Amino acid sequence: MVRELLEQAYEEEKQKSVIVKKCTRIYHEILKGKDEELYNHLLNNQVTPELQLMRWLRCVLTREFEIDLVLQYWDYILGGVYL
């Protein structure tokens, strides 16, 4: 009973998060449209969108740019600013 309540609360919280929503959209719409083979591989291996994409963002941004720019880029990407 307690486990079911915790799992339900976790699922509800996941759906509220803006980052999770953006990652899910990128994963299930953009990636699927651009590279369906990779999308299916990640899906079959149960790689969650938020885990994979947040790791990728942190890795790419922090290795390539100074921390001040990284923070600005994160604000831009995760803040919902689109051209």
In a domain, 34, yes or no: yes
In a domain, 1, yes or no: no
What is the number of domains present in the chain? 1
Closest of 48, 43, 7 to residue 24, by C-alpha: 48
In a domain, 5, yes or no: no
Q: How close are the terminal C-alpha atoms of the chain, in Å?
A: 47
In a domain, 3, yes or no: no
In a domain, 26, yes or no: yes
What is the pTM (predicted TM-score) of this model? 0.51
Share of the chain above pLDDT 90, in %: 8
Lowest average pLDDT, out of 24-28, 37-41, 61-65, goes to 61-65
